[in-house]
Structure 1
Amino acid sequence: MIQLEPGILLIADPFLKDPNFARSVILLCEHQEKGSFGFVLNKLFDQRLDELIPDIIPPNIPVYNGGPVQQDTIHFVHQLPELIEGGFEIVPGLYWGGRFDAAVELINSGKIDLSKIKFFIGYSGWSSGQLETEFKDKSWILSHISAPLVFKEKEQDIWKQALKNLGHSFAMMANFPSDPSLN
């Protein structure tokens, strides 16, 4: 049985109505008694990184809407601990944060593989016990992490692929309409 812990993917139930999380997949980065946080992997933000941070030179680096909390902050996850120091290891080979100035310098100099880093504005957060309650209420389906899914370029495919990765019974859910009355 999968437990709530860092590195788990939270896959929104097909009929979850919360507009912040409908059809979303969240990378859970921290889960403690005092609360939890993570990032929505599949909701593209309407601005690119160079539009949000003037110091970024290359255009068109996507930013994802990590969640409704602190929408004035930018976060990142990556697979580059040898280049970006100070990150928190979520699971082996996957890190949250680190020296932002180093990431900017590496991006601007072209010394970073952009398929191994993903940027978010804001984050998803839960107070003590809140995520457990939502899980018991069947708002979320848990899955082990898949690095290719975390860094998938086609964000519109992440939710369906996460369900399909869980096997046949969940794969059927990927095709459920968002409104059950349309069935």
Structure 2
Amino acid sequence: MQYRWVRRSRAGAPRSRHTGGVIPGTSPTKGRLLVATPPLDDPNFDRTVIFMLEHHHEGALGVVINRPTDEELGEPLDRWAELQAVPGAVFAGGPVEPEALIALARTPTPIEEPTEEYSPVVGHVVSADLSVDPALVAGAFEAVRVFRGYSGWGPGQLEAEIESGSWLVLDTEATDLFSDHPEELWRDILRRQPGRLAWLATAPDDLAAN
């Protein structure tokens, strides 16, 4: 799948009043998670979890994985409904290209080579072509998640936001991307972290109140 790189202005970049978000030795590489530190000024990203799809010299791209919407797939895409992970809704993937739909699927074994129906992302995760007949991939996919829009950064922009403390870069667990309870994912991921990071899961919106 090809994505169009969109550079957001730094004036519009999310800001956090939390500092110290950088964990030594971590990088927002494909397949890792960006976890927003509370609170971010930008409501598009406050308390979000982003699954990274791309990260290189041209910028970075990912989808928010903890914001299901009330939208369901309409015809003819509703034929994918049986493959959708619970909850079977379209997720708000981010503010860039909100008319675009991105489908990610989990496969039983890691995929390295693209096919006409899907392209590898990382490990067991592939991007699926929603225009194909889902019957062709029903045996290859364990679960599918559909996102409307995505989150994008220009060259160096995401690195600057991480350095400022807006994001934590954390490892992904197998159940994160297709969680049955995505609304709890932000807190669940923080709770499993060591020390002060776990405390962030209980932080109020106004950290100065503590």
Structure 2 match to 1:91: 122
Per the TM alignment, residue 181 of structure 1 is displaced from its structure 2 partner at its CA by 4.8
Q: What are the Cα deviations for residues 35-91 of structure 1, in whole angstroms up to 9, with x where unaligned? A: 1100000011231123xx444144872111000000001001111369x75533232
RMSD: 2.5
Percentage of pairs with the same residue: 30
Aligned residues: 176
Q: What are the Cα deviations for residues 148-174 of structure 1, in whole angstroms up to 9, with x where unaligned? A: 011102111110111122223211110
Which structure has the highest helix share of the two? 1
CA distance in 2: counterparts of 1:16 and 1:7, whole angstroms: 23
Distance 1:158 1:89, change over 3 A: same
TM-score of the pair, normalised by structure 2: 0.74
CA distance in 1: counterparts of 2:141 and 2:122, whole angstroms: 20
Kept in 2: contact 1:49–1:56 (CA 8 A) = yes
Residue 78 of structure 2 aligns to a residue in which SS?
coil
CA distance in 2: counterparts of 1:85 and 1:101, whole angstroms: 11
Per the TM alignment, residue 116 of structure 1 is displaced from its structure 2 partner at its CA by 1.8
Task: Check if 1:4 corresponds to 2:35.
Answer: no
Structure 2 match to 1:39: 63
Aligned mate of 2:101, from 74, 81, 84: 74
Per the TM alignment, residue 139 of structure 1 is displaced from its structure 2 partner at its CA by 0.3
Structure 1 match to 2:203: 176
Residue 2 of structure 1 aligns to a residue in which SS?
coil
Q: What are the Cα deviations for residues 92-123 of structure 1, in whole angstroms up to 9, with x where unaligned? A: 1112x233233x533xx994698621110000
User: Any stretches of 5+ residues in structure 1 without a counterpart?
Assistant: none
Kept in 2: contact 1:70–1:122 (CA 8 A) = yes
Distance 1:12 1:115, change over 3 A: farther
Structure 2 match to 1:117: 144
